[in-house]
A = this chain, B = another copy of it.
Amino acid sequence: MTSIFYQNKDKHYVAVDCIIMGFRDDELHILVAKRPFEPMQGGWSLMGGFVNDLESVNDAAKRVVEEFTGIEDIYMEQVGAFGDVNRDLVRVISIAYYALVDIEKFDTSLAEKYDARWVKITQLPELIFDHSLMVKNTLNLLQRRAAVKPIGFNLLQEQFTLPTLQSLYESIYQEDIDKRNFRKKILSMDILEKMDEKDKNSSRKGAYYYRFIKEKYDQLIQQGLHFSI
């Protein structure tokens, strides 16, 4: 079956490493784990796994995220391939993906099983291999993506308040945003629906809940307009 052409070519271990992101306490968090085996046993690591034969790389990434979070239907995007030699005892070519999940849906029993924890992106420890670089590139990519696509909502529950949404963007861009300008912009796109209930957890007055309405977003796009924060 294998063509003669491939006979003398090298084969490589190929892994996926996933930057699994969640949002909690006004900050982006990343799921990291203590590596349970050599090399680099005990070092902080992203969630990863090997790509199998007969499995697309995208599917492998999806499998890994589901395995470590218990969450399905996840928003993911490829960050890129990292293929320096000496990444590992044997060279592994790794393809990084970031995933945006609703941290509330996270199956916490898996955290114990894999010795995994959510760490604030501003307080990440040094990670093994080139994982810190992967995170850096991810944040960069996320900043550019979140500015023009409504992907931030994947990090929130179905209902969220505008103060929460704003703090999400502040955490992504790592800078403060003016409250009035932010509200003006997000509401002017008319892609959110205001609920009747308020969230009273973080203020006495309470903040109204909103929902992202995909149909309204599709409409916006159809009009030749764009999402932009």
Q: Which residues of A contact B (CB under 8 A)?
A: 1-3, 5-6, 9-14, 37-39, 50-58, 60, 78, 80-85, 89-91, 93, 95, 144
Residues on B with C-beta less than 8 A from A84 are 56-58
Contact A13 B13 (CB under 8 A): no
Contact A81 B57 (CB under 8 A): yes
Contact A91 B53 (CB under 8 A): yes
Assembled-state Cα–Cα distance A46/B194 (Å): 50
Q: How many copies does the complex hold?
A: 2
- Which of A11, A55, A78 has the most chain B CB atoms closer than 10 A to its own CB? A11
Contact A11 B13 (CB under 8 A): yes
- Which of A5, A53, A57, A82 has the most chain B CB atoms closer than 10 A to its own CB? A57
Assembled-state Cα–Cα distance A57/B80 (Å): 11
Contact B91 A10 (CB under 8 A): no
Assembled-state Cα–Cα distance A41/B58 (Å): 27
Q: How far is the CB of A84 from chain B (nearest CB, A)?
A: 5
What would be 14 A-B contacts, judged by CB atoms less than 8 Å apart? Answer: A1-B90, A2-B90, A3-B90, A6-B89, A9-B50, A10-B51, A12-B53, A51-B83, A51-B93, A56-B83, A56-B85, A57-B82, A57-B93, A83-B95
Q: How far is the CB of A126 from chain B (nearest CB, A)?
A: 22
Contact A91 B54 (CB under 8 A): yes
Contact A55 B85 (CB under 8 A): yes
Contact B39 A93 (CB under 8 A): no
Q: Which 9 A-B pairs have the closest CB atoms?
A: A57-B83, A11-B11, A81-B81, A10-B53, A81-B95, A9-B50, A56-B84, A12-B14, A3-B89
Residues on B with C-beta less than 8 A from A37 are 5
Contact A80 B83 (CB under 8 A): no
Q: How far is the CB of A106 from chain B (nearest CB, A)?
A: 27
Assembled-state Cα–Cα distance A1/B89 (Å): 8
**A10-B51, A14-B12, A51-B83 as given contacts; A38 in contact with B5, CB under 8 Å:** yes
